[in-house]
Structures are given as C-alpha cells and as structure tokens.
Structure 1
C-alpha cells in the first residue's frame, strides 16, 4: 500500500498529469447509472413493484440523457483538483437537467412503469446522483491533497505574509511547488491571531523574541511576501527579524503582474531595490500603446540599463520595428539573444554605432527612417567624466546634437532625451554636459516653433535621479563588496541620494513623451532621499551579516564633482504641475539657437582637440550655474 501511495504521489506531483475529460465523462455516466439503479432498488423495495422493463428503460434512457447533458454542459472538462463552488453548481444543474429529461422520456413513453411514483423516483435519483458524483470529486481532491502533503522532502517551510486575497492566491500558486511548503500566514495586525485561512494557521508576532521562538519551534526557513509593497511595509520589522534569525526574505510578483510570457511563479530573495522602491507608478498604458504601436522606434544606448528597459516596455506596447543603436558589442549581443528568446514575434534590428560618428548615425536614420527616437546613449559616471571632460562633451553634448539634428532632417515625429538630476545646478562635468545637451535640444525645438528651422519633430526631455541597480550604480557595487567580505566603502556618512527603479523611470519617460506638446523638460517625483550609509547597512543585513561586526563600513571622502545632497527635482518653486501627479515641467532659462550655434561648434572643436581646460571653461560660460565641487576645476569658476 505504501508503494502504491508513493507511485500516485510521483504521478500526480512530479508529472503533473491530468486525467482525460473523456475518462471523467465515462466515469460520471457510470456513477450516474449506478445511482439510478440504487434509486430503482429503493422504489422497488419500499414503494412500488417495478418490472424488468422499467429497469431496462431507465438504464437505457438515463444513459443516453446523462451522456448528452454531461457532454454538452462540459462538466467533465473541469479539472477536478481545481474544482470550485461554481463548478460544483454546474454539476448539480446538469444532474437536475438530466433527471428532468429522463422523467419526460418516461412520462411520454406511454408505459405506466412507475404509476404515480415517477416524481418520487426522479427526486430520489437526483439526490443520490448528486451525492455520489460530488463525493467522487471530493474523494479525488482528498487523494490528491494527501499525495501532495507527503511530498515535503527537501522543501523549505515558509510563512506567507498577509491575509488578503493576494496572500491566499499566493498560497494556492505555491501548492505544487517543488521547493517550498507553505505552513501558515503572518498577519501584520493582531485581530486575526489564531484564526485559520485556507486550512493554515494565522500568526502574529509582537516582537523579535516572539518571532525567533516561533521559527525555531516550527522549523521555519523563510518568509514569503506576495508583492514588493508588503515587503517595504515590513522593511524595519519582519524583514529585519528574518535577517537577524537567518531566515530568507522571499518575494514574488502578484498574480496581476505575472504576464509578459511568465508561466511560472517566480520566487526570489528580497533585494534592497525592493525595499527602496515606492508604490508602483501607474501610467496610461492604452494611450502609450496608441502612440507607439506599429511605429518604427529607435533607441540609442539600447544595450544599457535604461535603454534596454525602454526596449522591453516598448515591445510590450507593440511597436512595429525596434531599432537598437549602441556601440557596446557584447551587451548588444546579449540583449539581442534576450529579445529573441522572450519576444520571438518582435521585429527588431541591432545596429552597432556611436552617436559621435556622424555618418554612421546618418546611415541608421537613412536605412530605418524612425518615427520616434529615445536618446539614452550617454556617459554617466561623475568621477570618470570629471577626469575625461572632453569625452563627456563629445558623447553627451555633440552626440545629442547630432541625434537631434538628424531627427529634424529625417522627419522624426518625436525625440525623447534622457537627462539627469545632475543637470540641475551642476557641480560636475557630467551634469554640465547633460545640461548643455538639454539646452541645444530645447533651443532647436523653439527654433522650429518660431519658423527659423523647418521641421516637425517634437522634442521632449526627461530628468530623473539615480536608478536602482543600473550598470555601475552603487547597489551592484555594494553587493560585490559584501560578497568579497567587505569593507563597504561610502564616501561620506551624510551623503544622500534619490532613487527610482529602472522600470518606473522608463514608464514615466513614456508617459511624459505622450503628454508633451514639445520643447518641455519633464522632471519626476523621486520620493524621499535615502542616506547611502543606511543603504549600505540594510544591504549588509539582508545578506545575513551584522554591519560594523561581520562587514565593516569605510568612509573614503567625496569623489571629484560629487555633492552631499542632490537637488530636489519637483518642488513648486522650480517646476509647474502636469496632469500626472509624479511628473512636473521644469522652469528653465530658454536659449536662442542662433546665439549658441557658434559656441557649440567651438565646444566640439576644443573637445576633439582634447583641450581640457578650455573645454571646461567654455562649459562654465554657457552654463553659468555650473560651479565645480571638490574638483580641480573649481579654480575656473568666476568668483
């Protein structure tokens, strides 16, 4: 018997096979006829004498009507292990309809087989058949549940956070997991303590001592959150309790965001990005799709962190042809393979090129004739650009100028330029170079409005702060240092930064592009600033270590061009509101294109000749608010 149960478990759990609906249909008809036979015996024994012809007629007519009703109603097509009250109601209705038809056949047959007891037989048959078929399904579910419950070897015992619909749905999704066994729920409030949800107990923990005692007693291995929002809500309590007790903090996307080709429940350990993010930003997806669907869209810097995420989201919106423009060969190759794997129906073209190379850029525009261009190609690392200002100018300023000029020349409908919060009152070369790019793009758009330049392109600029987990950003850097045993290096204990996730930044970029009338610089609500030292401590704890003991934190001083505090992007003094609560329009000084053309030509000449000091001096003249900080170029500032 033990071996039989093990084989059933293996068949049901590992192979996840479903019994054919044809087999279930035949079983239902057989059990229905058996129930009719039982009803006949009861009528024959206690109410009236029945002839053999009555038995034969009922079994024949009952078999035909039951088969037809069950087949047409599709009751046998419901997967029994996932049966619901609604499916059970459909089954009862099918049984009732079958008995009504059988009663009608018997009444119209002209034979007085039951005399005045036809109604009693039909009612009894309905009741017996309902009990038998319902019991059949309940028995199968119990057998399946028993088989599943025996298959716990090697599984991690987890608690699911919350008691709402998302948490219960998550428990059901984890039911057949090979790696996790859900053993209970954790409610953030006391009022459901000692209750039972979906046959599992609900727990509540007063403090860390109470939590630690419980997980040791019941051998709990992890706490699973149904969404990032719930994890953030418990960042300073349950997440910390788990880290201190050596439990894993797990998270999985909720059911309503598991799309995009994902067919399995994804469970992974919580990262600091999950805890720093905010509530998901909503955008008008339909309006975005209407603006980009079916169009040729080019993304410069397509293999980078922002560019690649823009491509993924544009793909979901149904663009007609996606042009990937980037000069990084290996990242482009890897991204190409990702798109081929995840979006096999997507029409896209990788194009290796550099925005500094005019003829190569022209070839891309000439060949593909894009309708929309997202310009994400840029040099972004502050210390590197402080050491290489001429390259910052060539890529961020001259490259952006070339892209904008070609957009006008080739009749592009819209160009969206990705800028940065560091362009606001810049203290470093990188921020100043992005501000120079903004100035040129906006001046070109205004020149078209005034009729000084012929063209139809709408120019949109978007500014936002640091993106979580982007290439070369602080979080991957800290993670690597923690993996190596530390120390984690922080520039200054007071330094703060604003953070935004890559997906929400890209969603806001597309939303801003849709709402813009052109020649506007949009800034995003970056939320509350985060102290970098607090970020380091939280990452150390999430990795299972104690800050200052297992992993040291070392302060190394501000790097060239760095600020202690970034500018607030979206306050009421320097911005205007829009129809989206998270997006505002920056108030910036406007420049006339004809007044700056010679200056930009000179800037390109100096940068190409690698005349570093002259290049930086000219940048400061065009952007008077550019005041260097902790940099050798402070001596060039006008006192």
Structure 2
C-alpha cells in the first residue's frame, strides 16, 4: 500500500477554480484589541477561525469546545505556534446555559463566532433531538448571553443545507438562523433591550473538514480502494477551510446586523469527478487500479444542494464573492414560545413531536429519502 501522495493536492486541481482572497486589512482593524469567543473552537471551521484571529492582534481568545481531545490538541498547537497569544481553552457545552454564563461573566467577550454545531446529515437524521438541542437551543443560549452581557457582535456559522432543507440537520441550522435574526431585528426596533448585532454566514461543503469526503477518499485510496460515492450524479459546492473562514471574517466586518451572508461557491463539483481526480493525482488509474463504487443516497441527502446565490434570492454587496440572502421574516415575540417548546421536546427526547414542530415552523422543510419523517409531509393538517 502507498502512503505518499505523488504531489500535494492544490485546490485548483480539485475545484477547477482559483482560491478566493480577500482584503484582510479592514478585517484586522475590526478585531484588533478585542476579546473574542469562538464556540466549536476545536472543529475544522472553529480552529481555523482561531488561527486567523491569532494573527490579528486581538486582546484575548476564548476557545470553547465540548470535545476534550480535539481541544487539548488545538491548545498544544497554539502554545507552540502563537506563543504571544493570550488564549484560554474552555471545556464546555453550548447546551449547558450556566457554563456559557460563567464564560461570559468571567471574560466578557465582545465578538462571538458561533461555530459549535452538529453537522453530519445522516447522523442527525437518526438523532433529531440532539440536532435541535445543540443547533437550535445551543445557538439560542449563546445569542441570549451575547445580548445579556453586551457583546458587540455574534457571527453565526450556518450552511447551504439550511436553504429549503431536506434533512433534520439543515432545518436545525435554519431554525438557529431564524432565532438570531429575529432577535437582532427586535433589538434594532427597540422591542428587546440590548445592542448586539447578529450576522449569519452560509456556505457549502468545506474541503478537507473533519469527517468530510476528501479525507475519506484519501484513506480509501491508501487502502487500495474501492472509493465509495453515493450516486453518480451527486454534486456539491466546495470551498477550502481557510477560504470559508476568511469570508466569514469579512462578512463579520461588513455586517451591520441581521444579514444572512451567502458566499459565491464557484461551480458545483461532481463528487465522482472529485474521486476520479484524487485517484489520478495519487498516480493510479480509476476503474483499473482503484475501483469507484456507488453505494446509494443516504437518508436526508439530496443530489443537488440549493444554489445559494442566484439573482432571485440574493442582494449583491461590494464584495462580489459575498451576497445577502433574502429570507422570510419572523417576529421575535411570535417565536419565543416555539423555541421554548423546542427545548422542552428535545430535552425530553420526543422525536416525532420535535420533527413535526420543525416542519411547522419551517414549512419548506420537506424530508428526502427519509421514510421515518416523510410521513409527516403527507399528512393533511
């Protein structure tokens, strides 16, 4: 078996486009001298946000995560690579309100990047109450603390799967967007006391993130195949982790509050082409040395993700890679009880009731390839 790539893979090779670069100058001034909290700091996106923040002259970085070993590893990396950085790793869970309160109380963060989330579609389809508890209730608790402790901005990391969701994960992220956006609007209209601005960013699949397709293909190729793809026609929009994080930071700088920013993801990539290209780049012949095997779509999975940025559903900004999504407006006072209900249902693990409520609040959530929940779409009210 081989363990060495013939040459390192470059984004251009896989995506057929060049990397997105942004002007980091304005971004630097935005975060300079600030106390910044990153939730999900040990994850793929969270840790890269931390790496970029580490170079921005911030006052203090609070790295919050529930995963012990990953946070430990990130700490070791940062102690080694950024000896001048004042950072604090905190083990905690966005589901636990008092733990969040303690962090806000001690460190008084001014900027919050909320990247803590459950993200794997098939797993969340099987564990809907956990998806809601982390992605909906957790996001609400972070947002509420931000307001209570007077944070300037909270930037919520979302996903293209929140657009016309076909799975529990995507809908849970849409519900998080709805909460922070309606809270932000209520603050702006003087209906809720506070001054925190809420900004949401949505992007597609991230190349090489934990558990994603590239590391899996790499491992499959190293083991001599087969490389497994769910469907010959499945396509996804990809960007690299550093690209996604730079765009998140730029959006954070541009945002006046209550926007949902979407990123120009380039052209969709056929997953089978990605597999073929990786096999070739490793110096093998697809189908001869290494087999590509189709395994069938998984629950909640769709062939095509929604295009985030067509002319109908977005407004341009001065950065041609970043647009603002047009979304339905929800009134904060109208949704409060619903979110309390989400918390009750998810904490008591009422699975069908939780998903039923998700579909009621986000009517465009139609389950795909998920027999357990498709029933809920068929029932007349």
Q: Look up the SS of the partner of 1:460 in the other structure.
A: strand
- How many residue pairs were aligned? 374
Q: 2:236 aligns with which of 485, 494, 497?
A: 497
User: Relative to 1, partners in 2 of residues 1:248 and 1:433: Cα closer, same or farther, differing over 3 Å?
Assistant: closer
Q: Look up the SS of the partner of 2:357 in the other structure.
A: helix
Larger Rg: 1
Q: Deviations over 1:183-205 (max 9, x none)?
A: xxxxxxxxxxxxxxxxxxxxxxx
Q: Say which structure, 1 or 2, has more relative contact order (CA 8 Å, 6+ apart).
A: 2
Could you tell me how far 1:281 is from its partner in structure 2?
2.1
Is 1:634 the counterpart of 2:374? The answer is yes
Q: Deviations over 1:504-544 (max 9, x none)?
A: 10000000010111000000000000001111111111112
Is 1:276 the counterpart of 2:14? The answer is yes
Q: 1:403 aligns with which of 139, 142, 161?
A: 142
Q: Deviations over 1:14-63 (max 9, x none)?
A: xxxxxxxxxxxxxxxxxxxxxxxxxxxxxxxxxxxxxxxxxxxxxxxxxx
CA distance in 1, matches of 2:20, 2:57: 21
Could you tell me how far 1:414 is from its partner in structure 2?
0.3
Q: Look up the SS of the partner of 1:509 in the other structure.
A: helix
- Asked whether the 8 Å contact 1:416–1:462 carries over to 2, the reply is yes
Q: Deviations over 1:120-171 (max 9, x none)?
A: xxxxxxxxxxxxxxxxxxxxxxxxxxxxxxxxxxxxxxxxxxxxxxxxxxxx
Q: Which runs of 4+ in 1 moved over 6 A?
A: none
Matches within 5 A, 1:403-482: 403-482=142-221
Q: Deviations over 1:182-229 (max 9, x none)?
A: xxxxxxxxxxxxxxxxxxxxxxxxxxxxxxxxxxxxxxxxxxxxxxxx
Task: Note the residue ranges of structure 2 that are not aligned, 5 or more in a row.
Answer: none
Q: 1:585 aligns with which of 301, 315, 324?
A: 324
Q: 1:605 aligns with which of 344, 350, 364?
A: 344
CA distance in 1, matches of 2:275, 2:10: 9
User: Relative to 1, partners in 2 of residues 1:295 and 1:489: Cα closer, same or farther, differing over 3 Å?
Assistant: same
Show the counterpart of 1:206: none
Normalization by structure 2: what TM-score? 0.96
- Asked whether the 8 Å contact 2:12–2:18 carries over to 1, the reply is no
User: Relative to 1, partners in 2 of residues 1:582 and 1:407: Cα closer, same or farther, differing over 3 Å?
Assistant: same
Show the counterpart of 1:256: none
Task: Note the residue ranges of structure 1 that are not aligned, 5 or more in a row.
Answer: 1-246, 250-268
Which region of structure 1 is more displaced relative to structure 2, 270-279 or 557-566? 270-279
Is 1:488 the counterpart of 2:227? The answer is yes
CA distance in 2, matches of 1:248, 1:349: 36
CA distance in 2, matches of 1:555, 1:276: 20
Is 1:320 the counterpart of 2:59? The answer is yes
Could you tell me how far 1:284 is from its partner in structure 2?
2.4
CA distance in 2, matches of 1:273, 1:393: 33
- Asked whether the 8 Å contact 2:5–2:282 carries over to 1, the reply is no
Matches within 5 A, 1:24-423: 269-271=7-9, 273-277=11-15, 278-423=17-162
- Asked whether the 8 Å contact 1:522–1:584 carries over to 2, the reply is yes
- Asked whether the 8 Å contact 1:273–1:469 carries over to 2, the reply is no
Show the counterpart of 1:35: none
Q: Look up the SS of the partner of 1:637 in the other structure.
A: helix
User: Relative to 1, partners in 2 of residues 1:537 and 1:280: Cα closer, same or farther, differing over 3 Å?
Assistant: closer
Could you tell me how far 1:338 is from its partner in structure 2?
0.7
Could you tell me how far 1:585 is from its partner in structure 2?
0.2
Normalization by structure 1: what TM-score? 0.58
User: Relative to 1, partners in 2 of residues 1:336 and 1:248: Cα closer, same or farther, differing over 3 Å?
Assistant: closer
CA RMSD in angstroms comes to: 1.2
Could you tell me how far 1:279 is from its partner in structure 2?
2.3
CA distance in 1, matches of 2:219, 2:20: 29
CA distance in 1, matches of 2:38, 2:75: 13
